[in-house]
Structure 1
Amino acid sequence: MGHSILRKVPIFSKMKLLFSHLLLLTLLNTHTAFSQARINITLKRQLDSVMILDQQYRGILTEMSDPLKRDSISRALSIPQKELESRIWKLQSEIDSSNLIFIEHVFRQYGYPGKSLVGSPSNESAWYVIQHSDKIEKYIDLIYEAGQKKELPFRLVAMMEDRYLVNQGKEQVYGTQVTCRLLKNGKNECFVWPIKDAEKVNERRKKAGFDQTVEQNAKRLGVIYRVVKLSEVKL
């Protein structure tokens, strides 16, 4: 009898191990299915469409800084060069207005549509629409909360904070905003808008999730970085 029992123990252990593996697999599959179910697929697709529309003409406007491309775009669209920029901005502005109406409806229904609701990068769509609108002041707190909850990359929150401050004529924090305007010395210049505590800006940028220094970012935007004080700017 003793030998018979000893022979059954390994079989029982194998069955127990198999049951444990099956249970773990079931739990993992259930978690995955639950996670997928939480994503609002319809809203995700709508936000992806909004992102495409947000960028529809902005790429063209960027390319127009190249005279050769500007000429090609003018001929392709049959729009005189002197009217090109205003006509394209008008088209983009109409899209922006429509996008804003939709996004404000989304905010009322869901709050900020973040990563847990629509996944990534769809969670950035609403940010782009607000960043390109005149409603930053109204929604900056909602955007900040989304960043704190990791529903939105915090570097985007930082960019909106900078734009919000620049719009108010105040020093920015992360050095993301570049402008071209008249300085008090009488020169028109493109420069990185004045930064609060500029000596430590790259520390703040790194902490916020930026992978470029303020100098590198300025170069990417076609500007040579130098520290400009708010007292130098003609507001």
Structure 2
Amino acid sequence: MKILLLLGLSIVAMSCFAQNSVNLELKKQLDAILLADQGIREFGDTETSDKRKDTLAVLLNYPRAALNKSAYAISRKIDSANLEKVERIIKEYGYPGKTMVGEPANTAVFYVIQHSEKISTYYPLIEKAGKTGELPFKYTAMMLDRKLGQEGKAQVYGTQVYMVMVLNPRTGKKEPFEYVIPIEDAKNVNKRRKEAGFESTVEENTLKFGFAYKEYTIEQINKIVKP
């Protein structure tokens, strides 16, 4: 009985210590950043209901009419402001991970960098956070894929898709062409995805974007999208 009691007290003490070790002020800042980053994107999603959009407008502190008219421009403004904030946070704290701010606040900096033009600058920081458990590794995997795609290289985990308008020679008109950015060693991609923490296969993930997965090489894509 004494052993069980001591064990129970130890668990409570550890829980309290964990809560006290979280930087609550920083967590509050990151929660707000995360809400803005994800909220404006949810608003622009065609599957988001009108009722939910009304809620998001309130949370984002923008009139619904303004969001309806200029969601993209507002998203750019939000992203720019968020980037300034997280760069100041990184400068002071390094990567604010799970130990420092808990979850899901530990994903806020990832999302802001992922939606910026500074992936190559901050990828090493995201990589370290993923490898040390301060950020789920699947986020590191997503940023690596985007970084490689921006560099014109094959991705590793098949997380990144792209759409470009291409000329249909039969109709003479440009049509949208959606594809998964070419994957290095594509036959083993689902094994890598599972090891990285993804619950879906590349085929299942692609369907979420509204089209079926088809394997391409970089050379094949270059021929398809050439002017």
Q: Place the TM-score, normalised by the shorter chain, in its bin.
A: 0.7 to 0.9
1:143 deviates by 0.2
1:210 alignment partner, one of 182, 190, 198 = 198
1:58 alignment partner, one of 7, 16, 41 = 41
Which entry has the higher C-alpha Rg, 1 or 2? 1
Q: Percent identity?
A: 40
1:221 alignment partner, one of 204, 209, 212 = 209
1:78 deviates by 7.2
For residues 222 and 21 of structure 1, do their structure 2 counterparts lie closer, same or farther at Cα, with a shift above 3 Å needed? closer
Superposition pairs of residues 154-169 of structure 1, within 5 angstroms: 154-169=137-152
2:95 alignment partner, one of 112, 115, 127 = 112
User: CA–CA distance in 2 between the matches of 1:137 and 1:158?
Assistant: 14
Q: Which residue of 1 aligns with 2:52?
A: none
Runs of at least 5 residues in structure 2 that lack an aligned partner in the other structure: 50-63, 170-174
Matched, 1:41 2:24: yes
1:221 aligned partner, one-letter code? F
Matched, 1:88 2:76: no
Matched, 1:138 2:138: no
User: CA–CA distance in 2 between the matches of 1:217 and 1:95?
Assistant: 27
2:30 aligned partner, one-letter code? L
- 3-state SS, counterpart of residue 180 of structure 1: strand
For residues 78 and 99 of structure 1, do their structure 2 counterparts lie closer, same or farther at Cα, with a shift above 3 Å needed? closer
1:57 deviates by 2.2
2:190 aligned partner, one-letter code? N
1:146 deviates by 0.2
Aligned residue pairs total 204
1:56 deviates by 2.9
User: CA–CA distance in 2 between the matches of 1:26 and 1:174?
Assistant: 43
What's the CA shift string for 1:3-52, capped at 9, x where partnerless?
xxxxxxxxxxxxxx64x555544443332222111111111111111111
2:17 aligned partner, one-letter code? F
For residues 184 and 167 of structure 1, do their structure 2 counterparts lie closer, same or farther at Cα, with a shift above 3 Å needed? farther
Scaled by the length of structure 1, the TM-score of the pair is 0.79
1:232 deviates by 1.4
Runs of at least 5 residues in structure 1 that lack an aligned partner in the other structure: 1-16, 67-75
Scaled by the length of structure 2, the TM-score of the pair is 0.81
* Contact 2:41-2:75 within 8 A present in 1 as well: yes
- 3-state SS, counterpart of residue 45 of structure 2: helix
Q: Which residue of 2 aligns with 1:179?
A: 162
1:65 deviates by 10
Structure 1 moving runs of 4+ over 4 Å: 20-26, 182-188
